[in-house]
Chains A and B, each alone.
Chain A
Amino acid sequence: MKTENQKAWFFVLPVLLLVAFNALIPMMTVVNYSVQETFGDNVFFWEGLGWFEQILRSDRFHAALGRQFLFTGMILIIEIPLGVIIALSMPRKGFWVPICLVTMALPMLIPWNVVGAMWNIFTLPDIGLLGYFMNHTLGIDYNMTQDPLAAWITIIVMDVWHWTSLVVLLSYAGLVSIPDAYYQAAKIDGASNWSVFRYIQLPKMKQVLTIAILLRFMDSFNIYTEPFVLTGGGPGNSTTLLSIDLVKIALGQFDLGPAAAMSLIYFAITLLVSWLFYTLMTQNDQK
């Protein structure tokens, strides 16, 4: 016999409450701001979708979005292959394993603003260890506070230093889970190192790599603290990434409406690209 009632809702209720307080309610305040104009004193005027239109049409937003995609693209192009290469060259058993793992994990344990400050001091042209060495010993004109290219190289190198370890550790976890038997079979077949990578290691790493790419995409796309502390978005606006621009609008200019609209657009882009990545990468499996 089948009974039909509405009891099931009670079981979903805790999750609904959690999600509501965790995500929906805070986000609704942003939605609230995004469609209104305020001059303080809790006085609001209905603005409709005006802020969204303004943001989507603004050159400033386009420029920041472009810089953001450039930054994230560079991060993924460098960190994913580099992380895989480092993981492949790490020992799989023996004395050096824990040493390598701890060394790899160290950069990730440093708080983000400390990373920014460290790299700022490290790269300052006259007093920084690296900055001084480049300018005065190697004679390379390097000044990340004035030269946009130098600033870009510095924030990318900093992120690579800080986060490649994550890709390394995830790939390494995938690699060590491959039984020796596979390598033995490949040896007997006489497979080349490239074939071993292509047909054994890469397929076995695929799932962790999917996660690594997703995490690195989301993290680098939403990055704020490190480049802000390092360059403050400068010189000029050359390293003003989306989140830095957002904070400038919201807290610098106190334009809460446009800032809220921009947050939602920002969020929608992150969500959309993550979903695209994930769908594309898992779709291959079913084929």
Chain B
Amino acid sequence: MTVELKNVTKSVGGVEHIKPVSLRLETGHFNVLLGETGAGKTSLIKLMAGLDKAASGQILINGQDVTRLNPQKRNISLVHQFFVNYPHMTVYDNIASPLKVAGMAKSEIRDRVEEAAKILQLEPMLARRPQELSGGQQQRCALARAIAKESSAVFLDEPLANLDYKLREELRDQLPELFAGRGAVVVYATSEPEEALLLGGHTALMHDGTVTQFGPTAEIYRNPKNLASARVFSNPPINAAPITKQGTQARLNANVKWELTGKAADLADGEYTVAVRPHYVSPIRHSAAHVPLTGTVQVTELSGSESSAHFTLGAESWVSLAPGVHPYRVGEDHEFFMDPSKCFYFAPDGALVA
């Protein structure tokens, strides 16, 4: 099964919420929509689900053009960030509701509801009402409804956002297994880069109403196509700074310079942007090739296994993330070391060049 978008756009009151998006989402793995709040994930899901009409472009489910079809004719399911269940129906009736509307035979409804309840460990709660369940169970009930329906596509719009940390981890671990082998195209929207990496599959990076990059998750994490994609797919935020390239030398400021190697060395002289992930900026010099940077520490966070420091580097704010506990003092200058072999170089238009 597939969900395909061809140059789909959406505008509200003359403002483009979704700029032309083309995507081909397939079954067999999770399709993650990753982007910050307001990037257009929910808007895009609403378009695919048929809750909003696209201004232009085409949406195909299994090759069939559904652009003008109502949501109920698209055979899809949607699980929200809020726990949406019918309040005065039992869990059983909630899971069964889309099947009943579809006019399925009673015995088949029972089989499907029981199967979904078993997978989601809701069997003891089938006779209860949603408000008698915990948040995690309510969301599992919503998920069971999506599973029992056996739809062509399941849209999960930040389904774990309102759960506490422990439940979120637990349910996130179960999710890929839950949908494995079901044939539905699973689309999962999230604003957390870690979630995309943990769920694997493919990821579409969204920024400012459009998809900046799409591909196997690990691959696009390793090779961001442009600066926007690199920023979306990094937590803590990726460090970036303007540099000047002259010959084989990159110059960030009067004190920070380094020799370029490989592809970067072959670039034409001029202005570029360098970006490096926080864990390649360390307070310890692991190799002579690492570039020393001096910055004023602004904020530090210790998590026990890692220490992070936000420091100013000229006009930019950078972050270093290093294993172990490091004694930073806020307000004081500290020396950090950047691994130049892990740097991305972007042209002034944002495209990755090396």
Chain A positions within 8 Å of B, measured between CB atoms, are 179, 181-182, 184-185, 187-191, 195, 199-200, 203-204
Asked whether B101 lies within 8 Å of A182 as measured between CB atoms, the reply is no
**Among candidates A188, A190, A203, A204, residue contacting B49 with C-beta atoms closer than 8 Å:** A188
B341 in the interface (beta carbon within 8 A): no
Q: Does B89 have its Cβ within 8 Å of any Cβ on chain A?
A: yes
Tell me whether B78 and A188 are in contact (CB under 8 A). yes
Q: Are B87 and A204 in contact (CB under 8 A)?
A: yes
Q: Is the CB of B72 within 8 A of A187?
A: yes
- Are B77 and A188 in contact, with the CB atoms below 8 A? yes
Check if B84 sits within 8 Å of A189, measured CB to CB.
no
User: Which chain B residue lies CB-closest to A183?
Assistant: B51
Q: How far is the CA of A274 from the CA of B276 in the complex (A)?
A: 70
B93 to chain A, nearest CB (A): 9
What are 16 A-B pairs with beta-carbon distances under 8 A?
A179-B82, A184-B46, A184-B84, A185-B78, A185-B80, A185-B84, A187-B50, A187-B72, A188-B50, A188-B72, A188-B78, A188-B98, A189-B72, A189-B97, A190-B71, A199-B97
Contact B101 A199, beta carbon cutoff 8 Å: no
Contact A190 B101 (CB under 8 A): yes
Residues of B within 8 A of A (CB): 46, 49-51, 70-73, 76-78, 80, 82, 84, 86-89, 97-98, 101-102
Q: Check B86 against A200 for contact (C-beta < 8 Å).
A: yes
Residues in A with CB closer than 8 Å to B70 are 187, 190
Checking B50, B71, B80, B98 against A181 with a beta-carbon cut-off of 8 angstroms, the contacting residue is B80
Knowing A184-B51, A204-B87, say if A191 contacts B101 (CB, 8 Å): yes
Q: Top 9 closest A-B pairs, CB basis? A: A190-B72, A203-B88, A189-B98, A181-B80, A188-B71, A181-B84, A187-B71, A185-B84, A203-B87
**For residue B86, which residues in chain A have a CB less than 8 angstroms away from its CB?**
199-200, 203
Given contacts A184-B51, A185-B78, contact A190 B84 (CB under 8 A): no
Least distance between B211 CB and chain A CB atoms (Å): 23
Q: Which residues of A contact B80 (CB under 8 A)?
A: 181, 184-185
* Chain B residues within an 8 Å CB radius of A189: 72, 97-98, 101
* In the complex, chain B residues whose CB is within 8 Å of the CB of A204: 87
- Residues of B within 8 Å of A188, CB to CB, are 49-51, 71-72, 76-78, 98
Contact check, A190 vs B51: say whether CB atoms are below 8 A apart.
no
**A199 cross-chain contacts in B, Cβ below 8 A:** 86, 88-89, 97
Most buried by B among A182, A190, A199, A204: A190
